[in-house]
Amino acid sequence: MFEIGFSELLLVGIVALLVLGPERLPVAARTLGRGLGQARRAMNGLRAQMEREIDMPNLDSAPLRRLEQDIRQGISLKAEPANDSVATTVARESTP
């Protein structure tokens, strides 16, 4: 991914030594190493999960289709609109 040679690593090390100092440089390097290790483990876990999900067998859609049909049969779309039912109720109440 990144092609970093020895000279680049040496330059980064010298700059880090000048900026952080010899006392804080080991602590910073250890913290950086731990962070990179956690990031690498997270990426490997994500990659493994994606590969498992890609390799999953196709789900059987027949039960889902039956459920959809049952739901559609249970819903009645022939209900009267709310305005018509109010008008018939008012008309029934007004006639003796």
Q: What would the pLDDT profile of 44-81 be if each residue is shown by its tens digit?
A: 999 999 888 887 777 677 888 888 888 888 875 555 55
Distance CA(53)–CA(82), nearest Å, equals 47
* Measured CA distances, 70 to 33, 38, 41, 64 (Å): 57, 48, 46, 10
11 occurs within a structural domain? yes
Whether 3 shows a pLDDT value over 90: the answer reads no
Q: Which of 23-27, 35-39, 72-76 has the lowest mean pLDDT?
A: 72-76
- pLDDT higher for 90 or 31? 31
Distance CA(65)–CA(59), nearest Å, equals 12
Domain count, the chain: 1
pLDDT of the residue at 79:
53
Q: Give the position of tokens 């209900």.
A: 79
70 occurs within a structural domain? yes
Whether 83 shows a pLDDT value over 80: the answer reads no
Boundaries of domain holding 15: 6-94
pLDDT of the residue at 9:
84
pLDDT of the residue at 85:
54
The C-alpha angle with vertex 4 and arms to 3 and 6, in degrees rounded to 5, equals 140
82 occurs within a structural domain? yes
1 occurs within a structural domain? no
pLDDT of the residue at 44:
95
54 occurs within a structural domain? yes
Q: Looking at residue 58, what DSSP letter applies?
A: P
